[in-house]
Amino acid sequence: MTAAAPPAVEVRALVREFKGGIRAVDGLDLEVRNGEIYGFLGPNGAGKTTVVRILTTLLRPTSGQALVAGHDVVSEGDAVRRSIGVALQEAAIDPLMTGRELLRMQGALHGLRGAEARERAAQLLDRVGLTEAGDRRVGGYSGGMRRRLDLALALVHRPHVLFLDEPTTGLDPTSRAALWREVRALHEDGTTVFLTTQYLEEAEQLADRVGIIARGNLVAEGTPESLKARVGEPTIHIEVADAESTGRARAALAGLGRLEPESASAPTRVALRNGAGKAAIAPVIRALDEHDVVVEFVEVETPTLDDVFVAVTGAHLEGAGAPEGAPA
């Protein structure tokens, strides 16, 4: 019987202290499953960057254990580095080299030679949409092109785990959408992605599970849907034609969820909490129609990851939501 593969990332009782007794990471436990996209969120100073630096062997832990692809980050650092790809927010790239040259050089560093290195460079340029720009100097690349090249460089050796550090910060909506597509494609290929981001919408769109870190430890973890369910149910807001219809509307909806108290400031508005969210709209409309209630409009308000973030950390994430025009 074949033994089960170890988790992509496994952290137990991890501690990192800095001078002055400051604990940036305080007994952290964390597990990332193989093949998933794990969104890692935290406010400034929460310990997020320190954790990522430890997992990528750039920083030694004070105590505890961290395994990546089954290898200990302290005693098996070389094996960890062979198993991971890392695209940092501020990658050092020689602006005088072309994208193709950089990819070939990266391939050589990982043992690829001659035709194999050239073929891998061509494959990755095509994958990230940079074939036409592959022979141009990187100094002339846009921000979005540089981030896509960062991603290609991190993929040269086909890593088991890919660490992406805020990959779309500062990108325009088109470049952001292109990078999202690449992350989803990697996920479909079975690559494990450890994603740090300041955009809650990005985590919600991409991540299978989300971990929120504050004060050096996880304060919440789960799928985006399960985390939002902890904060509250979706609310269906119904605007009826006139105040006289409100009573009939409330009577019609009484069995479909939990009605919010009436509001004197909005006499034609009825609010119904229902865990089904958008799926409950059709039954709501049917019930109102059966009671001859004329509906002006219906909208569904659902808890967001920002609501979750505020509930567990007491503050909004700096990049709550996504920049204007972000892809849906």
Distance CA 73, CA 81 (A): 9
pTM: 0.81
Distances (CA, A) of 147 to 90, 93, 98, 227: 10, 11, 14, 30
Compute the average pLDDT of residues 234-239: 92
Q: Give residue-wise pLDDT tens across range 61-92.
A: 999 999 999 999 999 999 999 999 998 766 67
Distance CA 145, CA 136 (A): 11
Give the containing element (helix H, strand E) for 39. Answer: strand 37-41
Distances (CA, A) of 225 to 26, 36, 191, 240: 27, 16, 22, 30
Q: What is the pLDDT of residue 323?
A: 46
Distance CA 266, CA 133 (A): 57
- The answer on pLDDT for 234 being more than 60 is yes
Dihedral, 31, 37, 43, 45 alpha carbons, nearest 10:
50
Considering the chain, what is the average pLDDT of its residues?
A: 89
Q: Give residue-wise pLDDT tens across range 213-223.
A: 998 999 999 99
From 88, 15, 33, 76, select the one nearest 221 (Cα to Cα).
Answer: 33
Which pLDDT band, with edges at 50, 70 and 90, does 325 fall under?
very low
Q: What is the pLDDT of residue 324?
A: 41
- The answer on pLDDT for 103 being more than 70 is yes
Higher-confidence position of 326 and 175: 175
Q: What is the pLDDT of residue 328?
A: 40
- The answer on pLDDT for 320 being more than 80 is no
Q: β-pairing, 161-165 with 9-18?
A: unpaired
Tokens 């006289």: give the residue. 244
Q: What is the pLDDT of residue 166?
A: 86
Burial of 54 (0-12, 13-18, 19+ CB in 10 A): buried
CB-facing half-sphere around the CA of 175: CA atoms within 13 A: 18
CB-facing half-sphere around the CA of 46: CA atoms within 13 A: 25
Q: Which residues contact 214 (CB under 8 A, 6 or more apart)?
A: 42, 43, 46, 312, 313
- The answer on pLDDT for 327 being more than 50 is no
Q: What are the helix (H) ranges across 167-292?
A: 173-188, 200-206, 224-231, 246-253, 281-290
Higher-confidence position of 56 and 45: 56
Task: Enter the tokens of residue 94.
Answer: 């020689």
Q: Give residue-wise pLDDT tens across range 144-195.
A: 888 889 999 999 999 999 999 888 887 888 888 888 988 999 999 999 999 9
